[in-house]
A = this chain, B = another copy of it.
Amino acid sequence: MPAPVAPATLATHACFGGVMSFHRHDSAATRSAMRFAVYTPPQAATRRVPVLYFLAGLTCTEETFMMKAGAQRLAAELGLMLVAPDTSPREVRIAGDDASWDFGLGAGFYVDATAAPWAAHYRMYSYVTAELPALLAAHFPADPGAQGIFGHSMGGHGALVAALRNPGRYRSVSAFAPIAAPMRCPWGEKAFSHYLGADRSSWAAYDASALLAAHARGGTILVDQGTGDKFLDEQLQPDALVAAARQSGQQLELRMQPGYDHGYYFISTFIADHLRFHAERLCR
């Protein structure tokens, strides 16, 4: 594989002694221009630092987490690089990609689509797990040997799937309110039937509960879930993840947070716990 071409830098902002930066590049995986955001902590001035990927939820962009989660303060203290990709291709367009808010633009579901017309560009799984890490290793002071991943909702699903399918690539994984069993909820069924086709046997490769029931990945998985989350019962189904973890013997710390909802006021409340969880596993 040739060395990745350096991404363009769209904006930079000083932040907690480090740098927030926003980038755009031509992605081979999605055959589209893609955007992503990076927080580079001050420690990266003198050495490569561990890198923690955050996958965002439906309708979000590469900016959402960086703007709303309040993660940079502690990332600067812990010496963690934060990377947030966009949630789908944006610049290439496919008919129907903006017909609904929970599918298409802003809703790539971190799968490699196999069904037409989406298969041509909606390859967010390869983009997030392979192309983007290679780009970070080549052009940023990121330590490719110390990677962690986490995410929210659709992105919590994406993070769990990425870590369960690549146990050696990610040292740590956590999630906020993940879509834990997408094969069995309306959001997931809609997305998978379009991206992966009608044959449900192919869906299990992107279902965290199905993957986890088959194989534990070692270590602990941290999940926070608000009890006041309006999507809890129908879309998120943390019980399915608990059952799968029990089946394979995976250590899972599921924390039900009383009264918290699905938004970034919830995420910001517990972001420090997640950053410390990852730092304990990445900074050693």
Contact = CB atoms under 8 A, between A and B. Distances in A.
Interface in A52-87: 67-68, 70, 72-73
Interface stretch (A137-145, A154-162, A258-266): A258-266
A269 B16 contact: yes
Interface residues of A, number: 25
A73 B268 CA distance: 8
A178 interface: no
Nearest to A270: B16
B264 A67 contact: yes
Contacts of A219: none
A105 interface: no
Nearest to A261: B13
Contacts of A226: 14
A20 interface: yes
A60 B37 CA distance: 23
A228 interface: yes
A15 interface: yes
Given A20-B265, A68-B67, A259 B14 contact: yes
Nearest to A72: B268
A269 B268 CA distance: 15
Nearest to A12: B261
Interface in A220-278: 226, 228, 257-261, 263-266, 268-269, 272
Interface of A: 13-17, 20, 67-68, 70, 72-73, 226, 228, 257-261, 263-266, 268-269, 272
